Every structure is written in structure tokens, then in C-alpha cells.
């Protein structure tokens, strides 16, 4: 078994969990992870410190998600009215998750990435900065603005 196959076998559930937090649909999350793993596999030998492999995969998932979002956005057709979309009330947890996912959609892609990595993935500020390829200060300021925006959106929705 190759190093990469072993890495995927051991880390796939954790990485899938990260992918689920980046997309609203579980099937899209699986696709996102598969595309990211394929891209990382192509450069696996170039990763000198394999302990950073999760950061590479997460960054690749974020980049891939952004590429797909941009591609879909160009296919959207504006309309004068939006159809009513019923919200299934299976249980309170589902409603809260939907409310949170809608609030996250109000954030920019960069803000959403920082919030997901810091609060859902529970990465440190330094780890988040490394995963996103930005400075620690950028993570802090982006997180501050993102949380303020989330508070604003959730206050309006409640």
C-alpha cells in the first residue's frame, strides 16, 4: 500500500467531515473530497512534510469549491421572483442547521473558509492561516468581520 493510500484510508472520515462543512449537500461533499484527493495525489511526492497533508487537502477543497461555485454562478439566470421553498420541519436540529447554513451563505467565500476552519475544524489561528495561505492577522480580521456578519444575519432571522 502506498503512502498516499494509507493516508487516505486513515484520514478520509475527517477530511469528509471538512468537505461536508464546505458544502450544503453531502453528495457534493463526497465529490469535492474526491476531486481534492485526486489533485493532491498528483503532487503527493512534492509534499515534503506529510504532516501538512491535511492542510493541503483542505486548501485544495476550498479552491475546488470556489472554482465550482464560480462556474455555477455563471449559469444562473436571474428572475423577478423566487419560488417559495418549503422548509421541512423534521426536528429542531435540522432547522438550526439550515438556519446556520443560510447564515454561512451570507459570508464571502474567504470568510466562510476561515469560520469553518477555526470553529468547526477547531484549527488554531496559525493552522488556519497555513491552510489558507494567508497571514495570521488576515485570519483574525477576517474572522472578526465574519462573526459580526453572522451575528447580524442571525439577529435578523430570529
Domain 1-78 has CATH 1.10.1740: yes
Instruction: Please compute the mean of the pLDDT values over residues 60-72 and round it to a whole number.
Output: 81
Question: What is d(CA 36, CA 68) in angstroms, rounded to the nearest whole number?
Answer: 12
Query: CB within 8 A of 105, min separation 6: which ones?
Result: 112
- H/E element, 133: none
Domain 89-158 has CATH 1.10.10.10: yes
Q: Are 103 and 154 in contact (CB under 8 A)?
A: yes
Mean pLDDT, rounded, of the chain: 84
Question: What is d(CA 109, CA 132) in angstroms, rounded to the nearest whole number?
Answer: 12
Domain ranges of the chain: 1-78, 89-158
Give the pLDDT confidence score for residue 30 in this predicted structure: 92
Q: Are 19 and 30 in contact (CB under 8 A)?
A: yes
Summarised one tens digit per residue, pLDDT across range 88-140 is 555 666 667 778 888 888 899 999 999 989 988 888 999 999 989 999 999 99
**Prediction pTM value:** 0.49
pLDDT surpasses 80 at 68: no
Give the pLDDT confidence score for residue 148 in this predicted structure: 93
Amino acid at each position: 500500500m502506498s503512502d498516499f493510500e494509507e493516508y487516505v484510508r486513515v484520514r478520509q472520515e475527517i477530511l469528509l467531515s471538512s468537505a461536508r462543512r464546505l458544502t450544503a449537500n453531502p453528495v457534493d461533499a463526497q465529490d469535492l473530497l474526491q476531486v481534492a484527493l485526486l489533485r493532491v495525489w498528483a503532487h503527493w511526492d512534492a509534499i515534503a512534510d506529510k504532516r501538512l497533508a491535511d492542510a493541503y487537502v483542505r486548501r485544495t477543497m476550498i479552491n475546488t469549491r470556489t472554482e465550482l461555485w464560480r462556474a455555477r454562478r455563471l449559469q444562473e439566470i436571474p428572475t423577478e421572483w423566487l419560488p417559495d421553498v418549503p422548509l421541512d420541519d423534521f426536528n429542531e436540529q435540522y432547522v438550526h442547521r439550515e438556519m446556520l447554513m443560510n447564515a454561512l451563505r451570507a459570508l464571502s467565500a474567504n470568510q466562510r473558509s476561515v469560520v469553518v476552519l477555526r470553529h468547526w475544524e477547531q484549527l488554531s489561528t496559525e493552522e488556519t492561516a497555513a491552510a489558507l495561505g494567508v497571514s495570521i492577522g488576515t485570519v483574525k480580521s477576517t474572522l472578526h468581520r465574519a462573526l459580526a456578519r453572522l451575528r447580524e444575519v442571525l439577529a435578523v432571522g430570529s
